[in-house]
Amino acid sequence: MAVHNADVAAVFEEIADLLEIEGANPFRVRAYRFAARTLRDLSREVADMVEKGEDLTSLPGIGKDLAGKIKEIVETGTAAVLEEYHKKIPATVTELLQIPGLGPKRVKALSRELHIHSVPELQKAAQEGRVRALPGFGEKTEQHILDALTVRVRKDRRFKLAVAAQYAEALVAYLRQSPGASRVMAAGSYRRGRETIGDLDILVTARQSGSVMERFVAYPEVEEVLAQGETKASVRLKSQLQVDLRVVPDDCYGAALQYFTGSKDHSVVLRQLAQQRGLKISEYGVFRGELRVAGETEESVYAAVGLPWIPPELRENRGEFEAAKAGRLPHLVEQQDLLGDLHAHTKATDGRHSLKEMAEAARHRGLKYLAITDHSRRLTMAKGLDPQRLLMQMDEIDRLNATLSGIRLLKGIEVDILEDGNLDLPDDVLGRLDLVIGAVHSYFRLSKAQQTERILKAMDHPHFSILAHPSGRLIDQREPYEVDMLRVIRKARERGCFLEVNAHPERLDLTDTYCQMAKEEGVLLAINTDAHSTLDLENIRFGIGQARRGWLEKADVVNSRPLQEVRTLLKRTMQA
């Protein structure tokens, strides 16, 4: 069975969780978490590196011990140390870690003080009011746990887009080797760029389906074949991701691709438009009675109902039909449109590479500028910069810029927005930077009114360029804080500052709907990686996808502009 980066990272995260529950050395715990993040962000499969005998210790945060465990996981699918912990700690305890708000420390407290070792036991204790009595919990935390358990019951498992991509890309490459297969495409919510997907839809065109079907169900990662017919099959992978395969003839490709891409709401409207013209659309084509009039390409399907082709990211029935009819479909931003990245970290705080290494990696990716925005002092866990260290870094950037060719580093900071809306560093230091990114990293549970006023006050600061990850969410880990996003967007317009589309796969923040709202309000956005390593710069593709779902065009993105123009725009935000 192929082992993907996400699989190895999951093993390391589980080891870290179990170590923390046991009260192991924090540095050991941190090493596993650091390694897991490195692997999740790695742009190539670590299994390939193992197969080629490459030195895994060349990866950030990977020493000999972890390199050996990576090799073990790639070769066996697990690690002996994890299996040992499974014998000591019930599997139901690790299930508790999946509940939002329950980290290893709280799980340990629940186990030690209330003898809670499973989700049903937790639910019963919370309903009886016993959880609130524990130190560090309280009534609000108990209610958050109950709310999370309610949501958990309702919600099917979904995979983050970046994790699904690892499985999708490997499977598509595997199926392309099927005899007779001409085209293979991942469709469904994956193709539309949804931030999470429930299952994966694969479309294959071939004259004969038999060899494709045989190869599909024989895929080494298949755990169970759920259904298999002549042209349809469903399997569940060992990762628990369900994959549905459909094989159609070449001349049905466009109709089938449109049909299996969705969304359901988009397709319903498209079929209604077809009916108004006396047409019927199916996965086999567009028909007038028995006569097939279109379907070889997606463009032909949309043309049959009098519309231009609509990009997959827009197919959510959120105004795309009206825009298409009026000739106002956006020319969506593309990765090559970005000339710079305005949010990146170095090893001066919690990043993994030096200024020079980050600069060279950005240049290698074709960028013309990169803003260095390490954390400010309040984020002690990230070794945040105090004024003196920031001034020293600014001098270092100046010296490095004098030697660099083809790339320019901008001087910035990701400064904490404090509970009262003030910023974490003094004005006389902030004023010497090229840009200031404000970020909420604490007090996520303020009321909507308090959180909104806090952020608006920060944006009124004379040195404020970009609001980072504006909703504060971590997908499937932390809900967004309550905030009036329309007021925040309109304040950005009034203030002349920008909002961020954070490309990290665990954030993808702003959401697509808020991106669209910001565009409609005339607010520029910055698509940033929030890179903590050179590898993280690869995540920009996920930010682009989110921006495209939010209808953003090149002109809506501040870092699509040349350096001199960006400098002018940033300078205005620093002199308000």
Q: In the prediction, which pLDDT does 555 show?
A: 98
Average pLDDT on 451-467 reads 97
Helix (H, G, I), strand (E, B) or coil at 421: coil
Q: In the prediction, which pLDDT does 256 show?
A: 97
CATH superfamily, region 5-154: DNA polymerase beta, N-terminal domain-like (1.10.150.110)
Query: Residue 1: which pLDDT band, with cuts at 50, 70 and 90?
Result: low
Residue 249: pLDDT over 80: yes
Average pLDDT on 187-198 reads 96
Q: In the prediction, which pLDDT does 47 show?
A: 92
Between residues 243 and 135, which one has the greater pLDDT?
243
CA distance 215 to 218: 5
- Where b means 16+ CB within 10 Å and e means fewer, 158-188 reads bbbbbbbbbbbebbbebbeebeebeebbbbb
Structure tokens at 121: 């036991």
Average pLDDT on 189-208 reads 95
Q: In the prediction, which pLDDT does 179 show?
A: 92
The secondary structure of 469-500 as a DSSP string is STT--BTTTBPPPP--HHHHHHHHHHHT-EEE
Helix (H, G, I), strand (E, B) or coil at 294: strand
Between residues 559 and 477, which one has the greater pLDDT?
559
Q: Could you check whether the bond before residue 263 is cis, i.e. omega within 30 degrees of 0?
A: yes
Residue 307: pLDDT over 80: yes
Domain 335-573, CATH number (from 3.10.20.30, 3.40.50.11890, 3.90.1150.10, 3.20.20.140)? 3.20.20.140
Residue 463: pLDDT over 80: yes
Structure tokens at 65: 């011990």
Between residues 295 and 26, which one has the greater pLDDT?
295
Query: Residue 276: which pLDDT band, with cuts at 50, 70 and 90?
Result: very high
Give span(s): CATH 3.30.460.10, the chain: 160-325
Q: In the prediction, which pLDDT does 88 show?
A: 78
Does the domain spanning 160-325 belong to CATH 3.20.20.70? no
Residue 475: pLDDT over 60: yes
Q: How is the chain split among helix, strand and coil, in percent rounded to 5?
A: 50, 15, 35
Query: Residue 477: which pLDDT band, with cuts at 50, 70 and 90?
Result: confident
Between residues 186 and 576, which one has the greater pLDDT?
186
- Nearest to 262, CA basis, from 333, 313, 199: 313
Q: In the prediction, which pLDDT does 381 show?
A: 76
Q: In the prediction, which pLDDT does 151 show?
A: 65
- pLDDT (tens digit, 9 = 90+) per residue, 117-144? 788 888 899 899 999 988 888 888 888 8
Look up residue 243 and give its amino acid: V
Q: Which long-range contacts (CB under 8 A, 24 or more apart) does 35-38 make?
A: 35/9, 35/61, 35/62, 35/66, 35/70, 36/8, 36/9, 36/10, 36/12, 37/9, 37/532, 38/62, 38/352, 38/533, 38/535
Question: What separation, in Å, do the N-terminal and C-terminal C-alpha atoms of the chain show?
Answer: 57
Average pLDDT on 517-532 reads 97
Q: In the prediction, which pLDDT does 98 show?
A: 73
Structure tokens at 103: 């980290």
Q: In the prediction, which pLDDT does 91 show?
A: 64
Structure tokens at 441: 């990293």
Residue 20: pLDDT over 90: no
Q: How buried is residue 466: exposed, middle or buried, by Cβ count under 10 Å (0-12/13-18/19+)?
A: buried
Query: Residue 380: which pLDDT band, with cuts at 50, 70 and 90?
Result: confident
Q: In the prediction, which pLDDT does 92 show?
A: 66
Q: In the prediction, which pLDDT does 156 show?
A: 61
CA distance 172 to 216: 10
- pLDDT (tens digit, 9 = 90+) per residue, 76-118? 988 999 888 888 776 666 678 777 777 778 888 888 888 887 8
Q: For the chain, give the mean pLDDT.
A: 93
Between residues 85 and 234, which one has the greater pLDDT?
234
Q: In the prediction, which pLDDT does 2 show?
A: 75
Give span(s): CATH 3.20.20.140, the chain: 335-573
Helix (H, G, I), strand (E, B) or coil at 408: strand
pTM for the structure as a whole: 0.83
Q: In the prediction, which pLDDT does 431 show?
A: 96
Q: In the prediction, which pLDDT does 448 show?
A: 95
Q: In the prediction, which pLDDT does 576 show?
A: 57
Q: In the prediction, which pLDDT does 139 show?
A: 87
Quote the percentage of the chain above a pLDDT of 90: 76
Relative to beta strand 369-372, strand 159-160 is unpaired
Query: Residue 157: which pLDDT band, with cuts at 50, 70 and 90?
Result: confident
Give span(s): CATH 1.10.150.110, the chain: 5-154
Residue 382: pLDDT over 80: no
Least trusted range by pLDDT, from 9-23, 153-167, 432-446, 517-531: 153-167
Q: How far is CA 271 from CA 289, 311, 312, 325, in A?
A: 15, 17, 16, 15
CA 355 to chain centroid: 25
- pLDDT (tens digit, 9 = 90+) per residue, 51-76? 999 999 988 889 999 999 999 999 99
